Amino acid sequence: DRKTLAARFKADETVVTAWSVLPAPVVAEAMARAGFGAVTLDMQHGIHDAGSIRDCLAAVALGGAHRIVRIPVGGNAMASRAADAGAEAVIAPMINSADDAKAFADAMKYPPLGSRSWGPVRASMLAGQTMPEYLASANSEVLAFAMIETPEAVAALDDILAVPGIDGVFVGPGDLSLTLSKGAALNPHSEAVREAAELIIRKTRAAGRFAGYFCMTPEDVKAAEAMGYRLLAHGMDLPVIQGAFRDTLARLA
């Protein structure tokens, strides 16, 4: 159906997003056609740039999935650009304070909420809207997700959730394990991460905001959904393709 991504989260629906690191529109389209609810194009650790975002957002739309972009750290100018290129949600990494959250929300939302500059030429087309229709809906329908992946962010969570224009949070358990352990261990399944994840979901739902989680395993997807997370990232193109090639070669042995 033609429900918006925002409408799905408002209805408390779960959306599983595949994770795209390859700047290849046909691969992004294939991930969408595989049946994922959304595809997230990763400009932080993926190989994407502004050009591949432009082409892959259209390919994801063609494949029938919702369109999400993760920007680089502090890349608020890119947040506006990703929204203009047709992203329905933007995920910003390393949002560690209310000030970080305010700067991100400011780039994502039109006045009076923020200072996103006007020009959704491509975004309105992908949304199937006129430009005035896009303007009327964008502040509530184009979502800003702040990544919580440090102890500073967990400590500032109440303030981050209170920033107007921040629609949700997104947990990065890899970085969170690294920062919570002061660099001692990369362990997204640590007890410290699990405790933080419980605290984050409780506060986020109480604040009426949406919550997402980066899931390494299918078990993580089930556990995060059971906790109340609704945007679940799982399935990355490069390792999936590499694994399939390994299996293909192994069958010759």
Angle, CA 245 vertex, CA 240 and CA 250 arms, to 5°: 125
- Position among 88, 106, 149, 167 found at the interface with ligand 3PY (CB under 6 A): 149
- Report what 173 binds from Mg ion, ligand 3PY, none; CB cut-off 5-8 Å by kind: ligand 3PY
Question: Is residue 220 a contact residue for ligand 3PY (CB under 6 A)?
Answer: no
User: Structure tokens of 242?
Assistant: 């590499």
Which partner from the list Mg ion, ligand 3PY, none does 214 bind, CB cut-off 5 to 8 Å by kind? ligand 3PY
The verdict on 100 binding ligand 3PY (CB under 6 A) reads no
When asked if residue 145 is in the footprint of ligand 3PY (CB under 6 A), the reply is: no
Using the rule CB under 6 A, which residue among 46, 172, 212, 235 binds ligand 3PY? Answer: 172
User: DSSP letter at 162?
Assistant: T
Q: In this chain, which stretch among 26-34, 121-129, 171-179, 190-198 interacts with ligand 3PY, using CB under 6 A?
A: 171-179
Select the span of 61-69, 170-178, 205-213, 224-232 touching Mg ion (CB under 5 A): 170-178
Within 8 A by CB and 6+ apart from 225, the residues are 14, 232
Neighbouring residues of 91: CB distance < 8 A, sequence distance ≥ 6: 40, 68, 69, 70, 71, 145, 147, 170, 212
**Residue 175 binds to Mg ion (criterion: CB under 5 A):** yes
Nearest distance in Å: CB 180, Mg ion: 13
Interacting residues of 238 by C-beta distance below 8 A, sequence separation 6+: 21, 22
Q: Tell me which of Mg ion, ligand 3PY, none is bound by residue 168, counting a contact when its beta carbon lies within the kind-specific cut-off of 5 to 8 angstroms.
A: none
**Given 168, 172, 188, 235, the residue binding Mg ion (CB under 5 A):** 172
Q: What's the CA gap between 81 and 87, in Å, rounded?
A: 9
Environment class of residue 172 by beta-carbon count within 10 Å: exposed (0-12), middle (13-18) or buried (19+)?
Answer: buried
